[in-house]
């Protein structure tokens, strides 16, 4: 079983209450089962008696995890409750126990060609994945910035990196998709791949390496690319609240580029305390602390497709905590889509904000 390699973490987490507040799902369902402690206590039960893997409530809870990795990032010992949930998903799938909705979604993803269609010329590829394509203004904003900077780029559309398949527990199908994706990009000869979706960034930077898939181009998040252009902005975005991305913060050591870009834009924090917009180290403050995830399930990639009602509650949870009338800035097109659909908040991605300030 995949969970066997997490025995120590499981034993530590099952009795620990410390990161209870960092389950984005638990914060809106108020179910004890949706906390890191109880999730891992249930996995411990499976370690002792493997037949419990088939328990329907256990499977439902594992697939309801938002996988923000906030618990791992903020845990003093970095115990990997997130990795335990991903391992449990793989065990469920590999034992033929995947629920119908998960199976259907995975079959759909695996049937799609993984290689993106690449057009245009230049050393830079801007990859528009499904979540980025769903927010049409994102690619337009990127194009406006590239034109202003005089940067020629190719566009890649469609395909997938295998990330969604992996989080659903389909590791082999994920690796196959990743290899096809990388082959297409490598063949194009581009030197840099720019992505707006933090989930794609994490796939290209971390998953591909872990899966032995070689990508010859350097992957950068749009915030890093835009910050590197050192553009002169003619306007300031004013007061805003920035919601940290799960993948950029918790999966990638609190990547500094979103805050660097907000600093270049001279954005002002709407929170008014404990947030230094020019700091590249301090996670952004929203609500009552800088540890919680407010991404509506970004870490679980296809969370809104599997658990739309919970994703809606997570969006409302953000709305209740936001300064009224304040611009909400996000790194992730997925989070923008969820907040846009389920709340009245004014939400823009970092790319859109930068394009608006030119």
| Binding to ligand SF4 in span 307-346, by CB under 6 A | none
- Residue 273 CB neighbour total at 10 angstroms: 6
The Cα 277–Cα 242 span in angstroms is: 10
DSSP bridge pairs for 193: 125, 219
For residue 147, the minimal CB distance to ligand SF4 (Å) is: 45
Quickly tell me which residue has 């329907």 as its tokens. Answer: 56
DSSP track, 55-114: -HHHHHHHHT-----HHHHHSTT---HHHHHHHHHHHHHHTT---HHHHHHHHHHHHS--
Query: Can residue 36 be called a binding residue for ligand SF4 (CB under 6 A)?
Result: yes
State yes or no: residue 18 binds ligand SF4 (CB under 6 A): yes
16 forms part of the interface with ligand SF4 (CB under 6 A): yes
Cβ pair 318, 343 in contact under 8 A:
yes
Is residue 79 a contact residue for ligand SF4 (CB under 6 A)?
yes
Sheet of strand 327-330, all strands in order from the earlier edge strand to the far edge:
268-269, 239-243, 327-330, 346-349
The stretch among 56-64, 72-80, 110-118, 309-317 that binds ligand SF4 (CB under 6 A) is 72-80
Nearest approach in angstroms of CB 34 to ligand SF4 is: 13
Examine residue 33 and tell whether it contacts ligand SF4 (CB under 6 A): no
Considering only the stretches 73-81, 119-127, 141-149, 287-295, report the one whose residues sit in contact with ligand SF4 under the rule CB under 6 A: 73-81
Handedness of CA 92, 93, 94, 97 (dihedral sign): positive
Per CB under 6 A, 19 contacts ligand SF4: yes
d(CA 281, CA 254): 7
What number of chain residues touch ligand SF4 (CB under 6 A)? 12
The yes or no reply on residue 37 touching ligand SF4 (CB under 6 A) is yes
Residue of the chain from 3, 10, 13, 38 that contacts ligand SF4 (CB under 6 A): 13
Please report whether residue 155 would count as binding ligand SF4 according to CB under 6 A.
no
Given 42, 53, 58, 81, the residue binding ligand SF4 (CB under 6 A):
81
CB of 13 or CB of 92, closer to ligand SF4: 13
Of residues 43, 62, 71, 124, which one binds ligand SF4 by CB under 6 A?
71
Nearest CB to ligand SF4, comparing residues 16 and 134: 16
SS3 136: helix
Q: Which of 222, 254, 221 is nearest to 355 (CA)?
A: 222
Are the beta carbons of 339 and 328 closer than 8 angstroms? yes
Least spacing, CB of residue 43 vs ligand SF4, in Å: 12
Smaller CB separation from ligand SF4, 41 or 358: 41
Using the minimum distance from each CB to ligand SF4, give the nearer residue, 69 or 302. Answer: 69
Piece in contact with ligand SF4 (CB under 6 A), picked from 74-82, 104-112, 172-180, 187-195 = 74-82
Is 148 a binding residue for ligand SF4 by CB under 6 A? The answer is: no
Site for ligand SF4 in 182-241 (CB under 6 A): none
Among 42, 67, 75, 174, binds ligand SF4 (CB under 6 A): 75
CB of 108 to ligand SF4, least distance (A): 32
Alpha-carbon separation of residue 160 from 181, 189, 198, 258, 312 (angstroms): 7, 19, 14, 24, 25
Separation CA 27–CA 25 (nearest Å): 5
Binding flag, residue 66, ligand SF4 (CB under 6 A)? no
Least distance from ligand SF4 to the Cβ atom of residue 172, Å: 28
First-residue to last-residue Cα distance in the chain: 53
- Which tokens sit at 66? 């938002």
Task: Find all residues with CB under 8 Å of 8, minimum gap 6, and list them.
Answer: none
Give the orientation angle of helix 56-63 with respect to helix 81-94, to 10 degrees.
130
Q: How many Å is the Cα radius of gyration of the chain?
A: 20
Residue 84 C-beta: closest distance to ligand SF4, Å: 9
Residues that bind ligand SF4 in the complex, under the rule CB under 6 A: 12-13, 16, 18-19, 36-37, 71-72, 75, 79, 81
């Amino acid at each position: 079983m995949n969970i066997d390699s997490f025995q120590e973490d499981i034993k530590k987490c099952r009795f620990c209450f410390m990161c209870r507040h960092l389950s984005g799902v638990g914060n809106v369902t108020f179910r004890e089962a949706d906390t890191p402690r109880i999730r891992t206590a249930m996995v411990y039960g499976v370690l002792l008696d493997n037949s419990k893997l088939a328990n329907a409530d256990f499977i439902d809870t594992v697939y309801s995890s938002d996988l923000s990795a906030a618990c791992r990032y903020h845990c003093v010992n970095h115990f990997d409750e997130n990795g335990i949930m991903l391992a449990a998903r793989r065990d469920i799938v590999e034992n033929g126990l995947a629920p119908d909705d998960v199976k259907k979604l995975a079959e759909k993803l695996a049937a799609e060609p993984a290689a993106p269609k690449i057009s245009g010329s230049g050393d830079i590829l801007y990859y528009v994945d499904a979540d980025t394509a769903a927010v049409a203004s994102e690619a337009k904003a990127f194009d406006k910035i590239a034109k202003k900077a005089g940067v020629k780029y190719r566009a890649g559309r469609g395909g997938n990196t295998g990330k969604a398949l992996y989080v659903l527990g389909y590791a082999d199908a994920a690796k196959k998709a990743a290899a096809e994706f990388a082959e297409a990009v490598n063949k194009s000869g581009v030197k840099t791949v720019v992505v707006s979706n933090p989930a794609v960034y994490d796939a290209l930077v971390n998953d591909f390496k872990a899966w032995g898939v070689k990508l010859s181009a350097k992957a950068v998040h749009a915030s890093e690319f835009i910050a590197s252009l050192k553009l002169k902005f003619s306007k300031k975005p004013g007061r805003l609240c920035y919601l940290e991305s799960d993948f950029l913060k918790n999966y990638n050591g609190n990547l500094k580029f979103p805050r660097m870009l907000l600093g270049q834009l001279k954005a002002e924090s709407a929170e008014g305390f404990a947030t230094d917009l020019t700091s590249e180290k301090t996670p952004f403050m929203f609500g009552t602390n800088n540890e919680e995830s407010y991404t509506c399930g970004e870490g679980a990639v296809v969370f809104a497709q599997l658990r739309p009602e919970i994703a809606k509650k997570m969006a409302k949870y953000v709305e209740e905590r936001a300064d009224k009338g304040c611009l909400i800035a996000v790194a992730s097109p997925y989070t923008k889509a969820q907040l846009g659909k389920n709340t009245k908040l004014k939400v823009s991605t970092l790319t859109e904000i930068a394009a608006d300030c030119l």
